[in-house]
Structure 1
């Protein structure tokens, strides 16, 4: 496939199961491609019928998709997209078939480690901490995402009256929750809140606190009760999401160790990233590898109860992945 300046805009199809954290990986990569080369992006959200959802990828076929899914194959008379970018287990059976179904027209990119038929995709953009290797694999620190300076500025506009005048240092605390590897008990959440509160008070700063969908309600309540007295904003999940605004206004970013995505996004801002400990449920070597990578790049350190500032070159791994996609497309 030739990607030349005279070519019409690339048609890019972003495919996921619609979960925000999953979709944003594929969409972030597509938007990075669009910043480098004119592109038209279409988002497709799919789900499998309940009877087939747990079936192995090898046994799934497009007719098993739920009627609520967006169409992923072209209508009569329409062409397959130039570029297919998909993320998540649900998309694997479709991604693995696209090259064949499109007659080789479509360049297929899968983010994350597919763990199934890795040779079926033109390019896999995988986190380095997953340690996946192959001629069609690009390893990056973290995962592709949508965070850019421009997007942060845009996302901050609606919150400027609440955040712009907060005292420095402004601390964004991004709290995850229960997963296979970690837990956030109410007791641990209370301890984290006390440590965060002491650090913010000692620095004379302010706090911007947000929780993930995985944060247990008891942990939310414990942290909110202990931190509500500080200057700042605690997002309770109602109304517009201030996530981009928090990253934009932050002087420091505190991230719980259970989220690779939030750590990588925070490291793209150039602000010091402090990793907050969670309650371990089992060995989490891949998270340890990610945090070691971020430390080596100067972006992150374990939270030690203080708000020491430091500088580093912001990570721009999504843009690097986008350049690789276009380079591989030229050679395809």
Structure 2
């Protein structure tokens, strides 16, 4: 029997126009570049843990415009960063690690959000042992893939032989659950909360592995960082201010998501409760990203670990606490 499900996105142009005053500019990858002086910021559609760029304009220096460029996945944002199509991107940490490992000129310049993930499934799947033989959705090349495989191993299950892993896009995850194509999935919001509303439950926390809740970072194009350090520093400061604003006004955060992407307010409230916003690149966070890189090698996401000295550029956070 099919499980009830409400479609995730009603992504309408009129909605984007309604928030243009808040965000400066919104574009797709093909339409970016309308304002040659704008700082172009890549982010993903409809995910609450990547929403901070929509509040950056209110913290921008006079005369600075932030142009938001929407993508479908983090590897696409990383490739746009590497090519210079965008200057800064809010994306999954694994994508930046893969870029550095491939000697692309991309770097992590701030953190953005922990969490935003969930491991959910059919009500009859009460323990991880009940997953044996089940179909489990996951987004390949993501932190969720690493968390899933580490979680399965921790409970005595071999990801290669004891379960059936199904690679799905983030936007397809909840519909795959509702239609019965998968019995469970470990993925990102909003799919997790949508599935829970449709009757799924959390099987086990995805945050109890060696990578913790590590997920989203701010990446920078190396050439932009080198040629425009003051603009990069201003952008990172505006991002950090946006994060602090969202932490202090969760209602504005939720309302922005609902208005921008046409999301269900009740589901949005659940989803943002599963996100821990941040911007700091402290030792603990960098240690978890280093562990993530090690696990990416172990699970064949990377042929070799990147040079972690090239991954992080922390100098753009130096003035964040000054204002």
In the superposition, the TM-score normalised over structure 2's length comes to: 0.28
The answer to which structure, 1 or 2, has the higher relative contact order (CA under 8 A, 6+ apart) is 2
Greater share of helix residues, 1 or 2?
Answer: 2
